[in-house]
Amino acid sequence: MFRLLKLSPPHGWVAVLWELGIVTLGVLIALGAQQVVEAAQWREQVGAFRAAVRQEVAWNLGTADYRTKQNHCVKARLDQLERWMRGWQSGHPQTLTGKIGAPMSVSLYTSAWQSRDPSMMAHIPLAERLAFGELYDEFANNEGHRLDERQTWLALAKYDGATALDHGDLMELGELISRARYRDQRMSQNLPGYFETAKAMGLRPRSRDFPAYEPTFCRPILPPPSPGARAP
């Protein structure tokens, strides 16, 4: 038969309990200290990430503001090109007196936002995450418009110095003018919405370091219309 041994610690059970309590307390203190260190590390990393994203957003807002400040020149140039096209269609051709040119724009930055990971985002409040996500969705949409606008104006540039336009040219020219107007309108209409979102987050456009505007783009390339002429 097996006999149960009666355990009897040399210094008694009270001493054993004290030792267990001290060990347990030590473990809890170590775990607590580790959590404090990890929390401090996360605060530092999240703070650095937030600062980088906010700076990137400010730049992207600045690029949109930079482009839209040329809207009046864009509209004037497209009006001139449409008047030029209508003149050819009606048998009253004119010659452009300068290059068509193009509005200037600056590309977006997204590297800070793309560096995020799930563990990082889990330490940022949901409302802030959603606001940043909404802004970057808007930036991506605007970038699509900007890139197509650039391609459109590059296509328009082939008419620089044109002295004759056939039916195919007139059809293409009309399509390019409409396409350029559409892109300009979409970018202009989208801008106030995400500027308001950014403003609510305390973010403003950063407008430093952008290239100077091309002054010739705002200069007329057709004589003014004669009195009584219909606007395009």
Over residues 60-91, the pLDDT tens digits come to: 999 999 999 999 999 999 999 999 999 999 99
Residue ranges of the alpha helices (H) in the chain? 13-68, 71-89, 111-114, 118-121, 126-156, 167-200
Confidence of residue 7 (pLDDT cuts 50, 70, 90): low
> What's the confidence (pLDDT) of residue 123?
85
pTM score, two decimals?
A: 0.79
Mean pLDDT, the chain, integer: 86
- Evaluate whether 36 touches 84 at the Cβ level (below 8 Å): no
> Is a pLDDT exceeding 60 seen at residue 150?
yes
Q: Is 7 or 18 the better-scoring residue by pLDDT?
A: 18
Q: Is 118 or 181 the better-scoring residue by pLDDT?
A: 181
Over residues 99-118, the pLDDT tens digits come to: 999 999 999 999 999 998 88
Residue type for position 151: Q
Over residues 34-48, the pLDDT tens digits come to: 665 565 665 788 888
**Lowest mean pLDDT: which of 16-20, 49-53, 172-176, 217-221?**
16-20
Task: Give me the half-sphere count of Cα atoms (radius 13 Å) on the Cβ side of residue 231.
Answer: 4
> Is a pLDDT exceeding 60 seen at residue 226?
yes
DSSP 216: G
- Evaluate whether 70 touches 187 at the Cβ level (below 8 Å): no
- Evaluate whether 78 touches 181 at the Cβ level (below 8 Å): yes
Confidence of residue 167 (pLDDT cuts 50, 70, 90): very high
> Is a pLDDT exceeding 80 seen at residue 140?
yes
Confidence of residue 225 (pLDDT cuts 50, 70, 90): confident
> What's the confidence (pLDDT) of residue 80?
96
> What's the confidence (pLDDT) of residue 9?
61
